[in-house]
A and B are shown apart, each in its own frame.
Chain A
Amino acid sequence: MAQRKQVTIDGNEAAAYVAFAVNEVIAIYPITPSSPMGEWADEWNSASKKNIWGTTPLVQEMQSEAGVAGAVHGALQTGALTTTFTCSQGLLLMLPNMYKIAGELSSTVFHIAARSLATQGLSIFGDHQDVMAARMTGFAMLCSASVQEVMDMALISQAATLEARIPFVHFFDGFRTSHEVAKIEQLSMDDIRAMIDEDLVLAHRRRRLTPDAPVIRGTAQNPDVHFQSRETVNPFYQACPGIVQKAMDTFAQLTGRQYKLFQYYGETDAKRVVVIMGSGAETCQDTVDHLLGQKVGVLKVRLYRPFAKEAFVEALPKSVTSIAVLDRTKEPGSSEPLYLDVVNALVECGASRFERLPKVIGGRYGISSKEFTPAMVKGVFDELLKAQPKNHFTVGINDDLSHTSLDYDQNFNIESQAGVRAIFYGLGADGTVSANKNSIKIIGENTPLFAQGYFVYDSKKSGSMTVSHLRFGPKPIHSTYLINKANFVACHQSQFLETMDVLQGIQEEGIFLLNSHHGPEAVWQHIPRLTAQMIRDKKLRFFVIDAYSVAGKSGMGGRINTIMQTCFFAISGVLPKDEAIAAIKESIKKAYGKKGEEILKKNYEAVDNTLANLHEVKAPSQVTSTVELNHKIPDEAPEFVRKVTYEMIKGRGEAVPVSALPCDGTYPVGTTKWEKRNIAQEIPVWDNAICIQCGKCAMVCPHAVIRIKAYDNKYLRESPSTFKSMEAKDREWSGMKYTIQVAPEDCTGCGICVDVCPVKNKSETKFKALNMKPQEPLREEERKNWEFFLNIPDVDRNLVKKSAIRSAQTLQPLFEFSGACAGCGETPYIKLATQLFGDRMVIANATGCSSIYGGNLPTTPYTKNNEGRGPAWSNSLFEDNAEFGLGFRISIDKQKEMACEYVKKLETLLGASLVEEIIHARQTDEAEIFQQRGRVQVLKEKLRNNPSADAKILLSVADMLVKKSVWIIGGDGWAYDIGYGGLDHVISSGRNVNILVLDTEVYSNTGGQASKSTSRSAVAKFAAAGKSLPKKDLARMAMTYGYVYVASVSMGAKDEHTLKTFLEAEAYDGPSLIIAYSHCIAHGINMTTAMQDQKAAVSTGYWPLFRYNPGLIREGKNPLTLDSAAPKGFLQEFLNMENRFKMLSKTDPEGAKKLAALAQQDVNERWRIYSAMASDAPAP
């Protein structure tokens, strides 16, 4: 058999590799965790990589998965070999077309990184809910359980679909397989050619629609023949399993890897068998090996649809007496699908194989990437031993509500003792995961060892922790679960030790590596007592390195990844030390060799300095540390936070029982404040001697950690000694005190506030009115100051002049401490909206960054004021957000109408004047709304004890009499692409909704894929060669209605304009659309100075500021006002500030020049059009 290349890749790359080789058209759309497959296809397309026919597949991004499915359907109909990649909600959007594609017997393979569906909450993680929702479409379904299988089954399914004419879903577990990095054997192009029958390809092409031989498909059929027509396909489905098995057999001849439709693994005389599909099957195989002799086995389901019942029964040993079917999905109100299929197969076909049908139980496991461990598998096998095993069970959770969960021995462990099992705790920003991926590559590609890497990420986008699980060993690795007995643990950030037990999973005599600035002598006193005790008790070898110091001395700045990687190679024993160091240097040479001698030298120096500074710590005879793990729950935290939220924060969410969780996805607000993440190295410190009280710092703070209050002097009594204040400068606050206070433990240290501060210290100009200083020494005193500050009363909202930033910024933000990226460009806009309207706001939020930092557990940032009011927030889907928000509006409007009707109806009870005032209340400003609240309060008091049905009904809707502000918030991926149809309809409705588009010009949340908002010449994923067409002008499209308030804002360029626009848009009694320039980490910029980028974007004309106010038409004025000056200088000045534009000049200088010139033309043309529109006389 031919020697094939060994590669270390993840499941997504494995699928994309085959898909790219065997298709001509690829339609894509981003969705986690499938996006990388589309990204690979786009990158290979821009690099002109060829498929097996020597041509580069055409890659087309669509506006949604529904669009993708349509495009795929069309491409198949016209004869191209076509594929796509998706999962979850994306797969749901494809369902209508999938029925069509299958109904028309079109050969294609959809590659799916299977993921949960959004129900009571969204989850990006892996299970089979999505593919199970597609099981009735008529697509065949082939499942892969490992990265190697992904590559293999991708090809087998392609070969089979061509022959069977049935389209295939090829699926594998999201994250566990799609993102697991493993060493696998790569199929060669010859292998792929050998599996693809050219005659079948030509047959596929011959079935195309062409005017040269016209046919019609897609007819509308009547009751007379539709039924019969549906039955015409039966022979294809009957033949399909045989065709798949044939392809598997051919594949086996080529590669030696023999697959079966249902693959049994275990003892031939097994009594107990688990039936399962997906990555969990690997864990079962591992466990079965361990339980050898106990007559157990696992039946792996590969071809799930068509479900070959006879083959299934035949694959089971005759000796089987009991079966547990494990479904990685949930079907409320019924049993799960695989279980039903198994029961059905046994009932229909079991009699021929079994004298007595085996007992069958079914259970759920692994939903939303819930860990599925050998201990759980053992628990299931044990359950099968019972006389009355639990049916419809769950495993892996504590279901104390319906008592479905199985008990199992959590200490059951089967980790192989051969090889290295390493866990690394790192910060997202410190490069730990990248270094580990590199280590896997080094070992996978340079040694005969097998390698596996799996990475667990945080739910926050800033200051997040990563945990890497790496296995290396002499045998193939089937352990598709996290390492629970490591022989190497590295903690790349010593602060993790303060809050978590990183040594929980280390085995006796394992190795512990710590990055700490305390040397080998002092470190012992600075680690928590529990950690020190563990080191002693488990006889660990303990190594310490001051990686940041080594990085600094080696000229690497704060990059410790190479250093920590070197430590791992030096002490883990994965390779002989010298060989390991040589391998690292070789990999550095590969990565940096072309980039210049200096960089290469610095990295080599870092490796050498690492070895010189890596110390083994000799554990003293006694544990003397007095440092304790910080597991304290704040006493004042609400019960839910203490019992549930805090458990999640501390990484113990796995143990939260079912009964503790809300049954309908309803959670309390304002929980981020309990987290106190302390992620900032430096925080801003206020200099009250020079502050001019402009409020800009608070305005731009993405995390709402800078707060302002003006207050009476009396509140300063008993202030902490370091609490700062100054005389309020605003005339309206004459005689009052003024304080800017920072929340030290919630700040991310982004520094944007300092960058925008306009004041400079006259004696030392490097200092401003805010200056970054190390957080740790300030933490305690500033924590006290913050708590003191919170207890000072807010300024009366009714007295705040909202049209000026300096006063408006004293309003309490009702969106605080989100997990957005440090320096996020979106959150300041949301925060501003909550300051202005938060106490009467209801928000519909499209899926994306803003729904993640807005609603990702464990803690959420929307909060409430002292009166208990605040934004009510919800996320429906990605594609329907505008409609979802319109639903809020019409529901509120109807309830208000009804309330008015009942108020009138109950006039006698309420009094005529109150009724009159309530019904005709103007609610155009804060004071009027405040008055109406007062009236409604009076109304409620009058109704409270009234027993009539009318009074009860009015009470239930009375709050709707106070104006509600409906906000529809989302990113450009939603507004310009997937949700545009809905957005268009909603603004056309004329209803009073406020739409805020946080325009980052890419799909930020899924990693920066191009949207129709992406500008010409920008490089983005799915536009790897630079976007060749201009940005869609959403604003101008919306203006065509003539009754939609439309505005373009950029806080960094003109903050007062942003404020004015928000007030105007909200006050406009009709649809408003605010398109807000939002800088983003996906732009490749310095986030600290990002507001300067915004300034340049506006001054060069890249982002013109304007307001289209239909209200002005009624006044006989031109509704369009241009609020920024004509472009100055060249666009290139702005483009040069951002990597998204700059990087094209490094990869394709000529192309970059051409696109930049066209981008300049776009800017000129847009300015010409807008200035003409703004100067036109209004219609008579």
Chain B
Amino acid sequence: MIDLSTTYMGLKLKNPVIASASPLSKSLDNLKKLEDAGAAAIVNYSLFEEEITHEIYELDHYLTAGTESFAESLTYFPKPLQYDIDPDDYLEHIYKAKKAVDIPIIASLNAHSEGGWVTYAKHIQQAGADALELNIYFLATDPQISGQDVENIYLEVLKSVKSNVVIPVAVKISPFFSSMANMAKRLDEAGADALVLFNRFYQPDIDLSNLAVVPNVLLSTPQAMRLPLRWVAILYGQIKANLAATGGIHGPEDVIKMLMAGSDVTMLCSALLQNGIPQLKKILEGARQWMEEHEYVSVSQMQGSMSQKSCADPKAFERANYMKALQSFK
């Protein structure tokens, strides 16, 4: 019997496949389906503080626009006696999700303001989430902001959240740091229970017929896994925090590769959005089959086996490999 279990941020998981944050988790039905398909845990869709603030402003704006101007129509809407704007919705969802499934529910938070991270993290903990993933999205577009400033923002957010909640906290980061390893280490030292590699920012597109910039969600392709694969392999063993690999994991072999590179868990998103929730079961079964065929007995046995630290050719994960690849291409 192959032992698929793993531990992630102190949570005992029955296998290393987690459903990552996506719109799928908005429905309780889907949560049940994910659990039935074998997901070891679910990262809930993100709570976006900016969205909440925007919604409040929007509601306030449209409730007051044009009011108190004309004697016959001093207002245009009934006064809502009670707003039910997120996070209430989100927290309610976490609460219900916990009731609906037995596997751990990891909440995901994208806050905007200084106080927002802590406030919402506390709410999420109170709602019953087993852990929290900080989905820190900061695009440094201001030329006045240095790399150091950006890094400090990440660290400050993490520290303030960690000092206010007791549930484990993962940080989902982007790969755009000058010194990824150093940044990972500093986050590790600041108390991250796990690093989730990597956040994929949605990239805008240009609509040629309308000459407009449009948001265009591109799902990940299997090629995308190379980036997290490399960094999981490099970081494995260098930091205490668990490593979660996400992005481009589309098949059983991708899961195996990530585990071998050193991740504690793997996260699926695009694969499920493209192929439906049952795909998780297929991937999980495929991974089990691969292990069986290749006579692995447990996940822990293979974890990190192909990391930079453990593989035969550590340099292969470094820049030289790039040169070599180019040469081989020629």
Contact = CB atoms under 8 A, between A and B. Distances in A.
Interface in A993-1022: 1004-1008, 1019-1021
Interface in B42-101: 49, 52-53, 55-60, 62-85, 89
Contact of B211 (A437, A760, A1006): A760
B301 interface: no
Contacts of A179: 71, 74
A39 B65 CA distance: 19
A1147 B119 CA distance: 22
Contact of A1007 (B57, B75, B116): B75
B112 A1143 contact: no
Given A595-B85, A1004-B73, A1143 B63 contact: yes
B226 to A, nearest CB: 35
A780 B67 CA distance: 32
A840 interface: no
Interface stretch (A41-49, A355-363, A491-499, A525-533): A41-49
B64 to A, nearest CB: 7
A1084 interface: yes
A595 B54 CA distance: 11
Contacts of A1143: 59, 62-63, 77, 80
Given A760-B211, A1140-B77, A124 B65 contact: no
Contacts of B69: 427-429, 457-458, 461, 464, 466
A1139 B62 contact: yes
A599 B56 contact: yes
Nearest to B74: A1007
A1024 B58 CA distance: 19
A1148 interface: yes
Interface string A460-484: 1100101000000000000000000
Contacts of B58: 1139
A980 interface: no
B59 A598 contact: no
Contacts of A1134: none
B152 interface: no
A596 to B, nearest CB: 6
Contacts of B119: 597
B116 A597 contact: yes
A1007 B72 contact: yes
Contact of B66 (A428, A601, A760): A428
Nearest to A432: B68
A46 B74 CA distance: 21
Contacts of B60: 595
B72 A1005 contact: yes
A765 interface: yes
B210 to A, nearest CB: 8
Contact of A1081 (B66, B81, B83): B66
B70 A457 contact: yes
A1006 B63 contact: no
A1085 interface: yes
Given A434-B64, A1143-B59, A1084 B77 contact: yes
A456 to B, nearest CB: 8
B68 A431 contact: yes
Contacts of B79: 43
Nearest to A125: B71
A1146 B116 contact: no
B113 interface: yes
A39 B78 contact: yes
A1082 B76 contact: yes
A33 B71 contact: yes
A594 interface: yes
A1021 B83 contact: no
Given A458-B69, A464-B70, A1021 B77 contact: yes
B53 A1082 contact: no
A53 B75 CA distance: 31
B80 A1007 contact: no
A299 interface: no
A43 B63 contact: no
Contacts of B10: none
A32 B83 contact: no
Contacts of B55: 1146
A46 B112 CA distance: 35
A134 to B, nearest CB: 22
Interface string A486-519: 0000000000000000000000000000000000
A1008 B73 contact: yes
A760 to B, nearest CB: 5
A187 interface: no
A168 interface: no
A715 to B, nearest CB: 35
B115 interface: yes
Contacts of B59: 1139, 1142-1143, 1146
A1024 to B, nearest CB: 4
Contacts of B76: 1007-1008, 1081-1082, 1084
A439 B269 CA distance: 52
A1021 B69 CA distance: 18
Interface in B211-230: 211-212
Contacts of A124: 71-72
B78 A1149 contact: no
A429 B74 CA distance: 11
Interface in A162-177: 175
B71 A47 contact: no
A1085 B63 CA distance: 10
Contacts of A1006: 72-73
A1021 B64 CA distance: 14
A433 interface: yes
A46 B78 contact: yes
A455 interface: yes
Contacts of B53: 596, 598-599
A1146 B70 contact: no
Contacts of A700: none
A1049 B56 CA distance: 34
Contacts of A428: 66, 68-70
B177 to A, nearest CB: 27
Contacts of A455: 68
A114 interface: no
Interface in B260-303: none
Contacts of B57: 599
B78 A1024 contact: yes
- Kindly name the residue among B69, B74, B82 whose own CB sees the greatest number of chain A CB atoms within 10 A: B69
Contacts of A1149: 84, 89
A830 B77 CA distance: 26
B70 A43 contact: no
A1007 B66 CA distance: 10
B70 to A, nearest CB: 5
B81 A47 contact: yes
Interface string B123-151: 00000000000000000000000000000
A1146 B85 contact: yes
B71 A595 contact: no
A281 interface: no
Nearest to B112: A598
Contacts of B115: 597-598, 601
A1139 B81 contact: no
A462 to B, nearest CB: 8
Contacts of B72: 32-33, 124, 852, 1005-1007
30 contacts: A32-B72, A43-B79, A124-B72, A179-B71, A433-B74, A455-B68, A457-B70, A461-B66, A466-B68, A466-B69, A595-B60, A596-B52, A596-B53, A596-B116, A598-B53, A760-B211, A1004-B73, A1007-B73, A1007-B74, A1008-B73, A1008-B75, A1021-B77, A1081-B66, A1139-B62, A1139-B77, A1146-B80, A1146-B84, A1147-B82, A1148-B84, A1149-B89
| Pairs A-B, 8 closest by C-beta atoms | A428-B69, A1084-B62, A1139-B62, A1007-B73, A1024-B78, A433-B68, A1008-B76, A457-B71
Given A461-B70, A596-B49, 5 more contacts: A457-B71, A461-B73, A464-B70, A1139-B77, A1149-B89
